[in-house]
């Protein structure tokens, strides 16, 4: 068992005492699947997940994990291999996460809407030879079969996790059948993959410890280019254990609306693994539509709603009926800052429709295994991100130094503790930039975010050191988009900024200066857009393009992107 130690009292210790939160916790030295198995032993008949009304108990969920683990072994997956999971929130996706962990392999979690170039990078950097993919994006993966040297592509249809009658209805009404190659043994349908598990009768449950790697997630790092974040079993288990100490409403049989995707650290850690470690039920939502939000809530009656600000914008604008939210006991917002106006609207909405819950704000990052901080139920102010999770140290340092700043002074947020990642896979230089050993002997994660510790002992977020646009909870890095745009033969320079959007929060807009001899027009704009489409996911594409003769500059000759942001604000 691992136990973290602190030598001095933290400024938020008084809140821990008031809310009966332990400052130190012991973390089991086991794998993430072992935690779920322990849940199944305690609550075998509780519902582990619900998928379009189809419920699966914990004891049956573990059986599915074991069968999937045998199938993986049958197809040659070994301890330490990397298996790419390119899936939305479906039963096959979460079952595969734990089955991969069970055989001692590592999950490589990727966004299904990633571009072909990004998928190629994700698969190659992880050295992954096996892919689980939803059929809608199979073609993109199949194109990479030779360049990425893939040994097996397992294809899931969205209806696979449903009961027989619902499968029939789903196929008749919703699914456009994706044609799969009939003569390529590397491609196998999920049902055939599982059926073949019978042929493996050897050991399929490898013993793994807390320090062993479990999951690869992707982040922009300090440069904006994708970075593979390596997380251990202990990282993800600590997230679930700490979440459970901070949220008193967590209890067996409660249900969580699992909308945040499993390839997102907040989604996997908070919406999937935390409830599955506590005997709760995950209501799996593979595709979210704000138009269907009211119906989703009425049909499922969730106890927990966890999401990003855009999801809560959708909630307050949803047509609800009296007592539609009476089942809701906890509401958590992460992924981006929550302003006081939206916070008040959400709380009013909850009260008006039967819930006594108040929205709480979480702060985190992929490099920190998801959430690292959560606001108290009774405290809120603009910028507040609240209480660090147990055993997670926070300190504020002067930019580009290790010098700690006193309360009230703004600087870079640094964190240390069991939630801090193992490092960036295959990138020692970038890892050394963000994981730094300070004079106190602790390894600190430099987040690239600015904040301060208030006189009240709570942590406040100010702004980001690195340029970032957050759209519907997804991080978009302008410098990455600019490097792609600038690679077009006609482009001299470009700058990407975030502009306000009524639903998504912000969306990118590209300002482009062409080289002499080139003329702005639809053809060049189309070529630039197509170039971006090949290299970035759909959600990161600019919503608008503007061609200019020149861009505003600072006194030292850099593009004054703040001036462009001000111009856009004036237009509004």
- Block residue for tokens 């809310």: 19
- Return the pLDDT at 366: 93
Task: Provide the token pair at 404.
Answer: 């700690």
CA separation, residue 149 to residues 110, 128, 144, 185, 430 (Å): 18, 9, 8, 14, 27
- Return the pLDDT at 556: 46
3-state secondary structure of 393: strand
Q: Which of 106, 62, 60 is nearest to 85 (CA)?
A: 106
CA separation, residue 276 to residues 52, 177, 237, 254, 281 (Å): 18, 32, 11, 11, 7
Backbone φ and ψ of 236, nearest 5°:
-75, -35
Contact predicate 215/31, CB 8 Å: no
- Return the pLDDT at 176: 52
Backbone φ and ψ of 179, nearest 5°:
-80, 125
- Return the pLDDT at 174: 45
Domains contained in the chain, CATH given: 26-360 (3.40.50.12780), 469-571 (3.30.300.30)
Q: Which of 125, 227, 236, 147 is nearest to 433 (CA)?
A: 227
The beta strands (E) that lie in 111-164 are given as 130-134, 152-156
- Return the pLDDT at 466: 67
| Pairwise CA distance, residues 510 & 395, whole Å | 36
- Return the pLDDT at 525: 92
| Pairwise CA distance, residues 307 & 482, whole Å | 29
Contact predicate 247/387, CB 8 Å: no
- Block residue for tokens 């008949």: 45
Whether pTM > 0.75 for this model: the answer is yes
| Pairwise CA distance, residues 10 & 14, whole Å | 9
The beta strands (E) that lie in 112-207 are given as 130-134, 152-156, 187-189
DSSP per residue, 505-551: EEEEEEEEEEPTT---SHHHHHHHHHHHHTTS-GGGS-SEEEE-S--
SS3 of 65-98: HHHHHHHHHHCCCCCCCEEEEECCCCHHHHHHHH
CA-based end-to-end distance of the chain: 56
pLDDT tens across the length of the chain (572 residues): 443 344 456 778 888 888 888 889 999 999 999 999 999 999 999 999 999 999 999 999 999 999 999 999 999 999 999 999 999 999 999 999 999 999 999 999 999 988 898 999 999 999 999 999 999 899 999 999 999 999 999 999 876 655 554 554 444 434 456 678 888 999 999 999 999 999 999 999 999 999 999 999 998 655 567 899 999 999 999 999 999 999 988 999 999 999 999 998 999 999 999 999 999 999 999 988 878 889 999 999 999 999 888 888 889 888 999 999 999 999 999 876 677 888 889 999 999 999 999 999 888 999 999 999 998 877 777 778 889 999 999 999 998 889 899 888 889 999 999 999 999 999 999 999 999 999 999 999 999 888 899 888 889 887 665 677 888 777 787 878 888 898 899 988 888 988 888 778 889 999 998 988 889 989 999 999 999 998 888 888 999 999 998 888 765 456 777 788 888 877 76
- Return the pLDDT at 554: 60
Burial track 48-82 (b if 16+ CB lie within 10 A, e otherwise): bbbbbeeebbbeebbebbbbbbbbbbbbebeeebb
- Block residue for tokens 């700690």: 404
């Amino acid at each position: 068992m691992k136990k973290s130690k602190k030598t001095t009292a933290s400024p938020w210790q008084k809140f821990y005492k008031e809310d009966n939160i332990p400052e130190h916790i012991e973390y089991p030295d086991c794998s993430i699947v072992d935690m779920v198995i322990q849940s199944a032993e305690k609550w075998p008949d509780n519902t582990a997940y619900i998928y379009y009304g189809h419920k699966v108990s914990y004891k049956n969920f573990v059986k599915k994990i074991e069968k999937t683990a045998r199938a993986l072994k049958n197809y040659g997956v070994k301890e330490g291999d990397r298996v790419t999971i390119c899936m939305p929130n479906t039963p096959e996706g979460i079952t595969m996460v734990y089955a991969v962990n069970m055989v001692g392999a590592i999950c490589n979690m990727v966004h299904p809407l990633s571009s072909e170039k990004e998928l190629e990078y994700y698969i190659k950097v992880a050295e992954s030879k096996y892919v689980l993919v939803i059929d809608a994006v199979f073609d993109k993966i199949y194109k990479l079969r030779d360049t990425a040297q893939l040994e097996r592509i397992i294809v899931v249809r969205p209806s696979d996790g449903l009961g027989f009658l619902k499968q029939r209805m789903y196929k008749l009404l919703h699914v456009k059948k994706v044609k799969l190659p009939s003569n390529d043994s590397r491609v196998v349908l999920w049902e055939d993959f599982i059926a073949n598990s019978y042929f493996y009768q050897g050991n399929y449950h490898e013993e793994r410890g807390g320090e062993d790697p479990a999951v690869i997630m992707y982040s922009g790092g300090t440069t904006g280019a994708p970075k593979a974040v390596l997380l251990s079993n202990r990282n993800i288990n600590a997230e679930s254990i700490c979440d459970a100490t901070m949220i008193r409403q967590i209890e067996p049989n409660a249900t969580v609306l699992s909308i945040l995707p499993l390839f997102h650290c907040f989604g996997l850690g908070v919406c999937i693994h935390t409830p599955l470690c506590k005997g709760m039920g995950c209501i799996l939502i593979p595709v979210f539509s704000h138009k269907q939000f009211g119906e989703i809530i009425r049909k499922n009656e969730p106890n927990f709603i966890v999401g990003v600000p855009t999801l809560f914008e959708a909630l307050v604008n949803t047509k609800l009926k009296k007592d539609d939210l009476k089942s809701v006991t906890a509401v958590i917002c992460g992924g981006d800052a929550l302003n006081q106006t939206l916070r008040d609207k959400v709380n009013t909405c909850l009260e008006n429709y039967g819930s006594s819950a108040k929205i709480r704000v979480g702060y985190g990052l992929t490099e920190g295994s998801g959430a690292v901080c959560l606001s108290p139920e009774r405290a809120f102010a603009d910028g507040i991100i609240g209480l660090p999770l147990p055993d997670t140290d926070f300190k504020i340092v002067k930019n580009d130094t290790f010098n700690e700043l006193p309360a009230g002074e703004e600087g870079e947020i640094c964190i240390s503790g069991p939630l801090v990642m193992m490092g960036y896979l295959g990138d020692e230089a970038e890892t050394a930039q963000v994981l730094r050993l300070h004079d106190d002997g602790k390894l600190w994660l430099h987040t690239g975010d600015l904040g301060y510790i208030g006189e009240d002992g709570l942590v406040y977020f100010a702004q980001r050191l690195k340029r970032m646009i957050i759209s519907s909870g997804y991080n978009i890095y302008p410098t990455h988009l600019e490097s792609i745009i600038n690679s077009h033969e006609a482009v001299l320079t470009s700058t990407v900024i975030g502009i306000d959007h009524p639903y998504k929060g912000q969306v990118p807009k590209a300002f482009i200066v062409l080289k002499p001899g080139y003329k702005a027009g639809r053809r060049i704009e189309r070529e630039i857009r197509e170039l971006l489409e090949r290299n970035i996911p759909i959600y990161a594409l600019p919503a608008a393009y503007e061609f200019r003769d020149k861009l505003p500059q600072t006194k030292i000759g850099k593009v004054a992107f703040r001036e462009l942001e001000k111009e856009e604000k004036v237009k509004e």
